[in-house]
Homo-oligomer: A and B are copies of this chain.
């Protein structure tokens, strides 16, 4: 139990902000820090999994590229046949593109923004070709990086695919597919409400609140042996059955990870395949990806659909480019075009405006676990804490993938120096 408490405290600290100063991107580079480099690594340069400290900055910067070294995982098999290879056509001048940070004064260059945001990897496609590709810190071209909540977008897209295929009815409720959810808040929530996260759940994801339900969810999914005194749920699905309702479904956007895990459960129940298996079969292999990705799993082997995916940056870009091309990629229709049309049509803006994001992400919406900016280019994105993103700008014919390891799990601190930067680069590419 002490181990678990210590882990929770460490995670709590890592998610809290005390206004402290962090080492900058260069000083916190895992290679500069010397994490796990010698044989054996010195004690103070050993990244430790057991106590949870592996996920606290600056060790976090090492760990995001090596999640499997700390957690049980299951693979998302890449293509075993012909792989897709991007054409490369580097475009000069991107580094010196300038933009004005949100709520900021003065200008910043694109290159400056990469360091500011603790970027580990940045890849930009323009018209399907790689025009910009950079690797920093611990990320290697052949390696993988934690996608964090970008994972949700894969689960959501699979859900939308099953609706398009007629396997799921978006108007039916969760309990009609997974009867075990009957007594929970999800029982009478529709597939659509779950995919768009407009469910009314008594569930706080406020990492700064030690009583937030997120901690019980995390404990349930922790694959470490449970202490004898532990009385909670022992896997993700057990936990999901205990979630209580708060308010009504369908009225307000509430960004809560467990929606994705419920969606993962529903998808697995109706297809008979785990999320890693289905993602591999339906998307990862058809794309012609090169590197096996993987999901973190709980003690029952259940993948953490809401945040446990790690993948290669170019493979991520293949997914983004397929979405930009209405589901067509690698000489085949990977997903029905109607799925992408539905994503791009966006979610309920009114429901989004009522949420805590209504102020900072004005006019946005959320659909099939994608964030829709409704900006002048019609950009939409997958987003994950510490700065992960797949950002698709249809008008500029641009797909951008960023992996990052920002010291805090707060995209609100990263957006000001990234969203306007993406838009500025998009406009720059349109001018070329």
Contacts and interface: CB of A to CB of B under 8 A. Distances in A.
B80 A291 contact: yes
A308 to B, nearest CB: 12
Given A68-B294, A72-B71, A297-B69, A39 B224 contact: no
B80 A75 contact: no
A274 B36 CA distance: 10
A339 to B, nearest CB: 23
A68 B77 contact: no
A210 interface: no
- What is the interface of chain A mostly: helix, strand, loop, or mixed? loop
A46 interface: yes
A357 interface: no
B225 A3 contact: yes
Given A40-B235, A237-B39, A300-B46, A69 B80 contact: no
A130 to B, nearest CB: 16
Contacts of A41: 300-301
A47 B298 CA distance: 12
B290 A142 contact: no
A238 B228 CA distance: 30
Contacts of A238: 40
Interface stretch (A48-56, A164-172, A246-254, A400-408): A48-56
A34 interface: no
B299 A142 contact: no
Nearest to A62: B301
Nearest to A46: B300
A63 to B, nearest CB: 11
A72 to B, nearest CB: 5
A297 B73 CA distance: 13
A72 B70 contact: yes
Nearest to A80: B142
A2 B291 CA distance: 39
Contacts of A36: 301
A69 to B, nearest CB: 5
A49 B73 CA distance: 12
Contact of A72 (B3, B40, B46, B69): B69
B77 A69 contact: no
A319 to B, nearest CB: 18
Contacts of A294: 68
B73 A223 contact: no
Interface string A225-246: 1101000000101100000000
B47 A301 contact: yes
A427 interface: no
B72 A237 contact: no
A269 interface: yes
A68 B68 contact: yes
A41 B294 CA distance: 20
Interface in A206-234: 223-226, 228
6 contacts: A36-B301, A40-B235, A40-B237, A50-B299, A224-B225, A291-B292
Given A50-B226, A73-B73, 19 more contacts: A39-B237, A39-B265, A39-B272, A39-B274, A40-B302, A41-B301, A48-B299, A49-B299, A50-B224, A50-B225, A51-B225, A68-B73, A69-B73, A69-B74, A69-B301, A70-B72, A77-B142, A80-B291, A224-B224
Top 9 closest A-B pairs, CB basis? Answer: A50-B225, A39-B268, A80-B142, A40-B237, A3-B225, A36-B301, A69-B74, A39-B269, A68-B73
